[in-house]
Amino acid sequence: MEVVKLRPYIKEIVWGGNTLRSYGKVSDTKNIAECWELSLHKEGSSIVDSGELKGKTLADVLTKEDCGEKCEKFPFFPTLIKLIDADRELSVQVHPSDEYALKNENSFGKTEMWYILEAKKDAGIYLGFKRDTTKEEVERKIKDNTLVDLLNFIKVKPGDCYFVKSGTVHAIGGGITLFEVQQNSALTYRLYDWGKLGMDGKPRELHIDKSLKVMNFKKFKPEEFKRPLLGECDYFSTFEMKVDGTSEINANKGSFISITFIEGSGLVNNISYAKGDTFFIPASKKAVIKGNGKYLLTTIK
């Protein structure tokens, strides 16, 4: 496969907004909560949007050679990349580790990273416990609707980046648009949902028993990475990059490269790009960027 532009799988969720329409996303849905920019997940695959394969799902056309040798060690394609628009706060939630998820859910667990694209005044995220706590205290706080009192609340601004390991209790606050790179998993265990109703007008399911089995009760300690590296684990390494003129990206035989533009415009191998566009560079292939802007590059190291 050659270098291709991707079209996302789009999800409407009760907390979504419409900011991503300004990133070129088109949908008949009432809101655009999530755009799965690079996805081979069974729930929804991204779609090839350029070249001879245009209109086909990436899951149908991608080969193991396109993914690269480093992907062969995983039972599933390792990475899922999203753009998220949280017009309202997401549920307070936690994701399991691989050990728990593969044993109990036939899925990866979920470690993820957030890069803030836009944030309204005083918007923020909830990330990890302020101090060590216990299962008993968390259960008590859930029952009396004060769980968030245990969590760090961090005001955010564009360009901020946060690494969220599996087991970390977290929530994205309202008024935030972000880029998320994560393990290829849709496993989310909800502990608290702010009294929101789902798209069907009913309360969404909580997963308190499972959550208590997988969460880290220790005080949150943030991971630090030196830019341009934004976050790294076995399933993704993501970098903040700029282009002004011409830039060449070479994927080695070990891994694919994905790039998502968050500013600017131009061409990738003579395919036009603008803010919000994602491209897939197969292993052993080359992309030449001509133009300007900023992009987030993801690969497997």
Residue 294, phi then psi, degrees to nearest 5:
-130, 140
Task: Decide: 7 and 46 in contact? Cβ < 8 Å.
Answer: yes
Cα 172 from chain centre: 12
Q: Residue 291 and residue 266: Cα distance in Å, rounded?
A: 4
Is 140 one of the catalytic residues?
Answer: no
| In 40-169, beta strands by DSSP E | 40-41, 44-45, 47-48, 79-86, 92-94, 112-119, 124-129, 151-155, 161-164
Instruction: Indicate which residue of 7, 21, 190, 227 is catalytic.
Output: 190
Residue 289: what residue type? I
Residue 104, phi then psi, degrees to nearest 5:
-110, -20
Q: Residue 45 and residue 235: Cα distance in Å, rounded?
A: 18
Residue positions annotated with a catalytic role: 190
